[in-house]
Amino acid sequence: MADSDSTGDQWLEAQRRYWDAWMDMTRRGLDAATPAQKASANPWADAMEQWWKSVAPTTPKPAQDLLGQMVNLGKSYFSMAEGLGKMDPATDTTQIVENWTRMMTEAFSSASQGMNPFAAVAGKAGRQGLAFWDLPFDTVSRTMSAGMPFPGDFMKAFEVERPTDVREQMDRMLSAPALGYARESQEQHQKFTRLLFEYEQAMSEYQAGFGGLGSRSMEAFKKRLEDRAQEGGPVNSIREVFNIWVDACEEVYADYAMSDEYARRYGRMVNALMAVKHQGAQLVDEWLEAMNMPTRGDLGTVQRRLHDTRAEYQRLRVQSESMRAELDAMAGLGSEVEELRAEMAELRKQVKAMASKAAPKAETHAETKTEAAGKSATAGKGDDKPAAGETAKKAAPKRARTASTTTRKPSTTRRKTQS
Amino acid sequence: MSPIQIRPDEALDELTKFQAKLTHGVQNLMDTDDITTGVTPKEIIYQEDKMTLYRFQAPASVVQNTVPILIVYALVNRPYMADLQEDRSTVRGLLDAGMDVYLVDWGYPDRSDRYLTLDDYINGYLDRCVDVIRKRHRLDAINLLGICQGGTFSLCYAATHQDKVANLVTMVTPVDFQTPDNMLSKWVKYLDVDLTVEALGNIPGEMLNWTFLNLKPYRLMGQKYLDMVDVLDNPDQVANFLRMEKWIFDSPDQAGEAYRQFIKDFYQQNKLVEGGLRIGPHEVDLKNVTMPVLNIFAMQDHLVPPDASKALKKLVGTKDYSEISFKGGHIGIYVSGRAQKEVPPTIGKWIDERT
């Protein structure tokens, strides 16, 4: 900080100059600002807001969300800077850190539209950050309002901070035995309301868990600033202060978020919400059933059966493909058998032909039997040799073809081995 | 002396520049066309329900490895993170390294998929994708590259279908889900998962986004957007930022039954480490992962802490185990400039040496 007493005035003068220039630019380019804004407490942030309002409609949708987020952050950033300008330089470090932390936390919670869990402890605005968790509650509660035995805004009477005795009284009322024709329905509604209370309680505890982090964040922020000042001199940029603050907050948040205490609070909050959702769905199902409409339970059954059928179909498809492959292989074997049969028939034919050729010779030999028995035997073997060789030659190509068919599968393995 | 000393003129200058960048940045944002992702040409090879198996087109000039690699991405978020843009694409890097790259895209489950189980995903969809690739290439086994939760799936698959996996690469893959620094694991410790699934059916992607953003709320919901203003005057960087934003919030719903088993068996009971994990008919024992394994993790990973991945070393049965630590985070390992230079070429080289 500058060490002059007139720092604040300088800062305001700078703001005024900037504001004039900004307004001039805005008037020329965007035709936006109104005189009332000149009296604003945060002219820079407001100017940005005004500028954004005039520009946003012309911004394409994909960019709009992102730019909106940046503008929100930018407004906070400007607010922080403005707060910085108003600080008394004579204030000690602790005070400065406190002021900064307070301003930044407020600005950040506003800029991040409450998404940050720290902001949750700030109250209503912080709850927006947990929109996801509230959304189902809100949806169910709106759906339920038409059929609840209580008015639609009944729950609004019960804030998180309500006194314990009121809660106890409500618990007792909701625990009263149901009576009469609509007994079961009444029980279901009582259960739903009890679960809502439990969820509110769990959410309240979850938010309260962040309560102690503010002071720890300040400590961490202060320490980081001092370390930074010792290592590299005082911080002289708004962005750097912002970054140091982010680091400090992340550090403190991570410590807490890693704790068993946080895990328990988080678990309780989520489980309580899920119990509400579950019970709400059951109540909705009852109405749908009464109106002869498909219920969530019905759809669940259909979905499960669809899933099982789909899984069975896939199993059978794979099985049938495997069987088809086996059949194809068997069809290959069939043709092989046919080939072998043809080969056998050919061989038989040849043997028969040889036998018929050999018969007259045998008769001649019989006639000359006594003359040259040993010679005739030798000559007979010699006649057979070429014939056998010829048969083998004819059969050879067929065998080769057969071999190539049956070794197709191992060739795949070979490929893998090569690779 | 105060640790904060900012002169008004310096502050004014800083804010003026900030405002100027924001003002000019609007024009860049208005000029930005629809954000495109998934840049590498690919063809559909096989489809089943909402799942699609793609094959990426390889550059003609590169000699391809004969054994293809199948990228198995997580159910959470979309797989185009691996092929985000021209100069930030793990897929492109793998193709350049000579890999024949396939990718399984799980799609966006809807209510009709509420009963899909891990068995359906791993022994069903994934196994059939592997079979399709094996058949196309006439191979007994192919290479697997599992990313994040997809890496966990790949480990389960490799442990139960050893004969179909030649080499296994895991990237930022959780194995030990209960390391002391695992924030997600702590958060689900007391969660009644059965009740959650009964109440919600499928788990909304919005719920997962909320969870992930809250791991670092100040950085991810605040600081990031202020930093963005700094690059608003650069159209290319604006497009990059928007592309990343698109991916971050593009979270499919999770099939209820698969989510139930994943949270209970992996996060709450840590069965991959403790034992007793069953996926459908198969018992998963990482000792049965006997093929070569390359495990890549990121040193600054806030979603999957390095120790959660490094646990794999002591659990797998393979004798050929390698580890690479990357200096970066869970996202940087796919999209940072250094990742492009280091990760895909290393994977390619490692696989080539084993093929």
List chain A residues with CB under 8 Å of B200.
274, 277
B148 is catalytic: yes
Q: List the domain boundaries for chain A.
A: 1-90, 93-293
Number of C-beta neighbours around residue A80 at 10 A: 22
Rounded Cα–Cα distance for residues B125 and A314 (Å): 10
Choose among A2, A71, A246: nearest Cβ to B7: A2
Q: Which of A310-324, B92-106, B109-123 has the lowest mean pLDDT?
A: A310-324
CB A113 within 8 A of CB A131: no
Contact B69, B94 (CB under 8 A): yes
Q: What is the pLDDT of residue A264?
A: 96
By the CB < 8 Å criterion, does B47 face chain A? Answer: no
Q: What percentage of chain B reaches a pLDDT higher than 90?
A: 72
Q: Do B8 and A249 touch (CB under 8 A)?
A: no
pLDDT the model gives residue A241: 85
Closest Cα partner for B184 from B329, B279, B308? B308
CATH class held by domain B42-203+253-353: alpha beta
Q: What is the pLDDT of residue A171?
A: 67
- On whether ipTM exceeds 0.85, the answer is yes
Q: Cβ separation of B115 and A236 shorter than 8 Å?
A: no
Q: Does B1 touch chain A (CB under 8 A)?
A: yes
Which H/E stretch holds residue B98?
none
Give contacts of B214 with chain A, Cβ < 8 Å.
117, 257
Most confident of the ranges A228-242, A272-286, B162-176, B239-253: B162-176
Average pLDDT over residues B110-121: 96
Residue B241 pLDDT level (bands cut at 50, 70, 90): confident
Nearest to A101 by CA among B332, B4, B108: B4
What does the pLDDT average to over B168-175? 98
CB contact under 8 A, A271 and B191: yes
Cα–Cα dist B161/B283, whole Å:
11
Which pLDDT score, from 0 to 100, does residue A184 have? 75
Using CB atoms, which residue from B120, B201, B217 is nearest to A311? Answer: B120
pTM of the model: 0.75
pLDDT category of residue B200 using cuts at 50, 70 and 90: very high
Chain A residues with beta carbon closer than 8 angstroms to that of B201: 300
Q: Which residue of A has its CA nearest to B127?
A: A318
The Cα–Cα gap between A377 and B202 comes to 92
pLDDT band for position B223 (cuts 50, 70, 90): confident
Q: Please answer whether residues A84 and A238 qualify as being in contact, where contact means their C-beta atoms are separated by less than 8 angstroms.
A: yes
Determine, for residues B114 and A307 on separate chains, whether the beta-carbon distance falls below 8 Å. Answer: yes
Reply yes or no on whether the pLDDT at B43 is more than 70: yes
pLDDT of chain A, 419 residues: tens digit per residue: 334 444 445 555 555 565 555 445 444 444 444 444 444 556 666 666 766 676 667 666 656 666 676 676 677 667 666 666 655 555 566 666 676 666 666 655 554 443 433 333 333 333 333 343 344 344 334 433 333 333 333 333 333 444 455 666 666 666 666 666 667 777 888 889 899 999 999 998 998 888 888 788 888 888 898 888 888 888 888 888 888 988 998 999 999 999 999 999 999 999 999 999 999 999 999 889 989 999 999 999 999 999 999 999 998 998 999 899 888 888 778 888 888 999 999 999 999 999 988 876 665 665 555 555 555 444 444 444 444 444 444 444 444 444 343 334 444 444 444 43
**Dihedral-angle region of residue B132 (phi above 0 means left; psi in -120 to 50 means alpha; beta otherwise):** alpha
The per-residue pLDDT for A166 is 60
Give the gap in angstroms from C-alpha A352 to the nearest C-alpha of chain B: 47
> What is Dmax (Cα atoms) for chain B?
75
CB-CB neighbours of A176 under 10 Å: 9
Structure-token pair, residue B287: 């000792």
pLDDT tens digits for range B314-338: 999 999 999 999 999 998 998 899 9
Portion 11-30 of B in contact with A at CB < 8 A: 11-12, 14-16, 18-19, 22-23, 25-26, 29-30
Q: Give the span between the Cα atoms of B119 and B132, in whole angstroms.
A: 18
Identify the CA nearest to A257 among candidates A118, A131, A135, A123. A118
